[in-house]
Amino acid sequence: MSLVLGQRAIPRDTTLWEWFTDPVTWTGSGGILVSLGDTVALCAAVIVASAILAVPVSAYLAHRRLAQVTSAWLVNIGRALPTFAVAALLVPISLRGGYGFEPWPIFIALTLLTVPPMFLSTYVAVKEVDEAAVNAARAMGFTERAVLLSVELPLASTVIFTGLRVAAVQVVATEPIRAFLGGDGLGRYIRDGIGQNNATLTVGGTFLIAALAGLTGITLTAIERLAKPYGVRRLRADRSSRPGETDEVDVTDVAEPAGSHAAAGRLR
């Protein structure tokens, strides 16, 4: 019993250090480890689902230069959709349908949050692929399908992945609303901290989520670098060896999240 209690509520004068160093904080059903697992699992599922929903459709439409205005508008509306309201509206529906508090309402709401930016970055990335490369492929007799799959997508992959990374960080930072809607995950500490007026829990929970979001960004950046298609890497290397452009290249990494945003404007 005291074990359950230890996780549900802590004295208000517990310091952050005491909280983080107490093994009870980390273990058990309400512990950090389980909560972290819950959060990571949901966020990963959301990102995978959004990528499956957004990337193929968007890449195809961009390749055919279809639905530019329509998709820009849909993406815009999607971006303005208040996630919390969507999730909150879905919770009672899910409860009445016998699906419980989790995971569907929050999963759908977060997926709706991530699909628009991923759709947009894919669309822009494919559309902005150097026309010369596309025409060269066509001249070499590539089918349209091959142009999309072996030329446009590889060349666009960096920007698409950057869009995915930005979306992933946003999902991790937004996922805590789940705890306010009958769910678990790392947001539980923020919820309990606010509810119990306990700053240690609120700040501790915030720290955990900010850290996870930061770690997500760093990990995905690392994967992005490692997984960059060989040809694209060589292309970059060629470019950076050209005189006069070297210092432009060394800042692109930092500027990348905005790069996809900046590109976003050109679509609209």
Partner 1 sequence: MILVTQRNPVLRWSYFGEQWDRIQAAIGEHLFLTLTPVAIGFILSAVLAGIGLRYRWTVGPITLFAAFLYTIPSVAFFGILRTTPLGLSIYTVLIPLTAFTILILVTNILDGFRAVPAPVREAADAMGLSPVRRLFTVEVPVAVPYMINGLRIATVTLVGLVAVAGIVGRGGLGNLIMEGIRRQFWTPLTIGALLSIVLAITLDLLFFLLGRWLTPWARTARS
Partner 2 sequence: MPSLLAAMLLLAACGNGEDTATGNGDIPDGPTIEIRGQDFSEAITLAEVYAQYLESLGYPVDIQTPAGFRVEAISDLEAGTLNMIVDYIGGSQAQLAPDSEPSSDPDEVMEVIRDAYADIDATVLDYTPAVDGDAFVVRGDLEAETISDVADMGLVLGASAQCFERPQCFIGFTEVYGIEFADTQTIEFGPILGEALAAEEVDAVVWNDTAPQIEEFGFKVLEDDLGIFPAQNIAPILANELIEAYGDDLVDAINELSAMITTDDLLAWNFETDIEFRESDDVAREWLEEQGLL
Sign of the dihedral defined by the CA atoms of residues 1, 39, 191, 85, in that order = negative
The binding site for partner 2 (CB under 8 A) comprises 1, 4-5, 8-9, 91-92, 95-96, 98, 100-101, 179-182, 188, 191-192, 194-198
Q: For residue 211, give Cα distances in angstroms to 11, 17, 158.
A: 24, 16, 24
Q: How many residues bind partner 1 (CB under 8 A)?
A: 51
Q: Which helix (H) or strand (E) holds 222?
A: helix 199-227
Where does residue 186 fall: left (phi above 0), alpha (psi -120 to 50 degrees), or beta otherwise?
A: alpha
**Could you tell which of partner 1, partner 2, none binds residue 265, using a CB distance below 5 to 8 A set by kind?**
partner 1
Binding mask 228-257 for partner 1 (x = CB under 8 A): ----------------x---x--x--xx-x
CB-CB contact of 95 with 181 (8 Å): no
84 binds partner 1 (CB under 8 A): yes
Neighbouring CB atoms inside 10 A of 144's CB total: 11
Distance set, CA 105 to CA 17, 181, 204, 218 (Å): 35, 9, 26, 28
Which of 79, 138, 228, 236 forms a contact with partner 1 (CB under 8 A)?
A: 79
Task: Residue 100: name its binding partner from partner 2, partner 1, none (Cβ under 5 to 8 Å by kind).
Answer: partner 2
Q: Which of 3, 16, 140, 210 binds partner 1 (CB under 8 A)?
A: 210
Q: What's the rounded Cα separation, in Å, for the pair 98 and 94?
A: 6
Indicate which of partner 1, partner 2, none lies near residue 192 (CB less than 5 to 8 Å, by partner kind). Answer: partner 2
Read off the DSSP letter of residue 176.
G
Give the binding site for partner 1 (CB under 8 A). Answer: 76-77, 79-86, 88-89, 92-93, 96, 169, 172-177, 180, 187, 190, 193-194, 197, 199, 202-203, 205-206, 209-210, 213-214, 217, 244, 248, 251, 254-255, 257-259, 261-262, 264-265, 268
